[in-house]
Amino acid sequence: MVKLIHTLADHGDDVNCCAFSFSLLATCSLDKTIRLYSLRDFTELPHSPLKFHTYAVHCCCFSPSGHILASCSTDGTTVLWNTENGQMLAVMEQPSGSPVRVCQFSPDSTCLASGAADGTVVLWNAQSYKLYRCGSVKDGSLAACAFSPNGSFFVTGSSCGDLTVWDDKMRCLHSEKAHDLGITCCDFSSQPVSDGEQGLQFFRLASCGQDCQVKIWIVSFTHILGFELKYKSTLSGHCAPVLACAFSHDGQMLVSGSVDKSVIVYDTNTENILHTLTQHTRYVTTCAFAPNTLLLATGSMDKTVNIWQFDLETLCQARSTEHQLKQFTEDWSEEDVSTWLCAQDLKDLVGIFKMNNIDGKELLNLTKESLADDLKIDGYSYEKEAMENWISKKKRTSPMTNLVLPSAVLTPNRTLKMAINRWLETHQK
């Protein structure tokens, strides 16, 4: 069961965002203010509301420690606040002066990302408050941002429907159309789907948009195969544009809020609907789970924030299915691995992997060394023409290691090609 335990009605206009720390709830609004509440009894703090922004406040987020709150606004600024006393720590102006739609701290608190209506995204040094890196998407305004749990990359979503992946140096790793009519929100589950100690990591990403859909993606990153964003499924339930989505802290539940005025809570393992909440009287614009308690906050254009409490039965229901399902990668059969290789345009390696009985568990433990030593995959990158010329001369050894090549099949290094293209785009303007 889910029970509505409190309703906050202090804002004078639409609620745009809400966020939890371990002890506080923050909300922001079109009324230009940010409000802070204690989780003990949901009373507003003495130094709340926080006032500085001259236009609507679109987003607010806590640093992982909860000591700092960031807010961003149509006025083109991102502001950092001391949550203990409400003191303003810094005002960071978007270089273009464009309205800032979204802000997000990195998991280690070293950086803060801010995305703006003109498509620019800035990484700020969260200690010095100085601009660290700046980039931009090709089309549309930025409406969503989420860091991967390990902080090695982050994802932005645009009004044109593109998900764009950036590394911590603001280099674009990947971009693709995810929602036809624009992305409104995205969020990473803090729990990896599968985490190989040898560098293979999978994360679950949720996105939602104006197309009325909530989509689940599996994000993988390896130093050998590079980055991949792979569509997994679409969650049903909403009949109007979906404006917000968020994972629970343990990754077992996903919540979404919509123009249809409903809030839907899903079991992330089965993707079944656990609860549908219909208390709000206007569009649901934001939703967030508390990190350490069974609380959910939802905000709306009806100017209210509802606080919901889950019972243990709901939590146990979501968690029990996790043990009934196969691990995403660890339980892959050899055939599953072959299918995955084909999807990566690596079908020429299927025979080698089958010959060595590589299943899901083995795949998670592969390293560059084991690829070279055990599977006899060279692992080095060469110019295609040079390597074809090498092989045409009936040479069957690696130019780098001089070891015998078990196969003359060449596999394109897409990650390296992408990096070269990025360099050329940067230096040929």
CATH at residue 372: 1.10.150.50
Cβ neighbours of residue 214 closer than 8 Å, sequence gap 6 or more: 206, 207, 208, 234, 235, 237, 238, 242, 245, 254, 256, 266
Regarding whether 143 and 22 lie in a shared domain, the answer is yes
Residues 328 and 206 in one domain: no
Same domain, residue pair 155 and 250: yes
pLDDT at 293: 80
pLDDT of residue 416: 57
In a domain, residue 255? The reply is yes
Tell me the CA distances in angstroms from 41 to 8, 25, 38, 307, 408, one per residue in order: 12, 11, 6, 11, 68
Q: Which among 283, 300, 315 is the end of a domain?
A: 315
Would you say residue 133 lies in a domain?
yes
Within a domain: 353: yes
- Dist. CA 6–CA 9, nearest whole Å: 10
For residues 207 and 213, the answer to whether their CB atoms sit within 8 Å is no
Torsion of CA 230, 150, 189, 371, to 10 degrees: 40
Q: Return the amino acid letter for 294.
A: L
Q: What is the CATH number of the domain that holds 220?
A: 2.130.10.10
Same domain, 348 and 285: no
Give me the number of domains the chain comprises. Answer: 2
pLDDT in tens, 236-278: 899 999 999 999 998 999 999 999 999 999 999 899 999 999 9
Give DSSP secondary structure letters for 207-225.
EEETTS-EEEEEEEEETTT
Q: Is 416 inside a domain boundary?
A: no
Same domain flag for 301 and 388: no
CB within 8 Å of 101: residues ≥ 6 apart:
58, 59, 72, 115, 116, 117, 141, 142, 143
Within 13 Å of residue 316, how many CA atoms lie on the same side as its CB?
4
Do 269 and 172 lie in one domain? The reply is yes
Check residue 223 and give its pLDDT: 58
The residue out of 315, 337, 358 marking a domain boundary is: 315
Do both 271 and 354 map to the same domain?
Answer: no
Residue 325 and residue 307 share a domain: no
Residue 330 shares a structural domain with residue 301? no
- pLDDT, tens digit, 9 for 90 and up, residues 177-190: 999 889 999 999 98
Domain that holds residue 396: 321-403
Quote the CA–CA distance of 163 and 182 in Å, as a whole number.
10
**Rounded to an integer, what distance in angstroms lies between the CA atom of residue 253 and that of residue 206?**
11
pLDDT per residue as tens, the chain (429 positions):
789 999 999 999 999 999 999 999 999 999 999 999 999 999 999 999 999 999 999 999 999 999 999 999 999 999 999 999 999 999 999 999 999 999 999 999 999 999 999 999 999 999 999 999 999 998 889 999 999 998 888 999 999 999 999 988 888 988 999 998 899 999 999 887 754 444 566 889 999 999 999 999 998 876 556 678 889 999 989 999 999 999 999 899 999 999 999 999 999 989 999 999 999 999 999 999 999 788 999 999 999 999 999 876 555 555 544 444 344 456 667 776 776 666 555 666 777 778 777 877 777 666 655 555 555 555 567 777 777 777 777 666 777 666 666 566 666 665 555 556 555 555 554
